[in-house]
Amino acid sequence: MFSARATKTLMMPDSWCDIPCGRRFRQSLEAQLAPWWPKMFGFHLIKIGALSCEIDSSSCMIPHQVNVAPQGNTLQVFGEAAQLPFLDKSADVCVLAHNLGYSSDPHRLLREADRVLIEDGWLIISGFNPLSLLGARKLIPWRLNREPQCSRMFSQFRMLDWLSLLNYEIMYHRLTTPIPWCDPASFGNRHARIFGCLGVIVARKRTVPLTFTPQKLRLLRPKLNNVVGATRQQTPPRCLKRR
């Protein structure tokens, strides 16, 4: 397996407008998250990164929503995604919109988000899909320095594997917007989602193993010996036999 760590430093865009078709990507991401915001409760929601800060989460019931990024005009906290200035288990929801694609060490980024999340907290991740038209553009040399081809793209299977190692339960994952420059209701965007350019994952932090170990399975296995023995006809004692 290839290492996810990179030596090259990538700069995240300051806005979705800096990405071609960025407004469509943001609208598609908001449409996927709209049914999930009312299901999230708690006290603190953290949006990490400039792109996360622009996502509309007004339908979420969490009152205290904090924008965190190294720089910007609509921020409450200035900080790096890999070194969040928050206590352990202090956030109910963390939003990482394309942070992994612009991080030199995405594993460290996930561990940092896991550190600040409470038990059963929510983690929202989005990123560009390498098996899409945007991923195919990375094969063109003169496009490698343009957005979003300059960012790193991880497949959903790989990100789901990372979350499973951190013991997260995947609540929802989907690929959307296969053709970003076309209308979202077009035939290609509705029926070719397997090649979607945008990937969305909604996961929840769990504190118990999601798969039982062999020892626990052995304890949960029903004991049939006593049940079978109870139905067996017992021979009466010799003293009680009729003469």
Where would I find the beta strands (DSSP E) of 30-167?
Answer: 44-48, 64-69, 77-78, 91-97, 117-128
What does each C-alpha distance from 31 to 5, 55, 104, 111 come to in angstroms? 31, 10, 29, 27
Buried b (16+ CB within 10 A) or exposed e, 91-121: bbbbbbbbbbbbbeebeebbebbbebbbeeb
pLDDT, tens digit, 9 for 90 and up, residues 211-239: 555 665 565 565 555 544 555 555 555 55
CATH class of 14-217: alpha beta
Q: Which residue has 């003469």 as its token pair? A: 243
Residue 112 has pLDDT above 90, yes or no: yes
pLDDT, tens digit, 9 for 90 and up, residues 170-203: 999 999 887 776 666 665 566 667 778 899 999 9
User: What confidence tier does 137 reach under pLDDT thresholds 50, 70, 90?
Assistant: confident
* DSSP run (H or E) holding 190: helix 187-191
Structural domain boundaries in the chain: 14-217
In terms of residues, how long is the chain?
Answer: 243
125 or 149: whose pLDDT is higher? 125
Residue 81 has pLDDT above 60, yes or no: yes
HSE, side-chain direction, 13 A CA sphere, residue 44? 17
HSE, side-chain direction, 13 A CA sphere, residue 70? 9
Instruction: Tell me how far apart the alpha carbons of residues 121 and 193 are, in angstroms, rounded to a whole number.
Output: 28
Q: Over the chain, what is the mean pLDDT?
A: 82
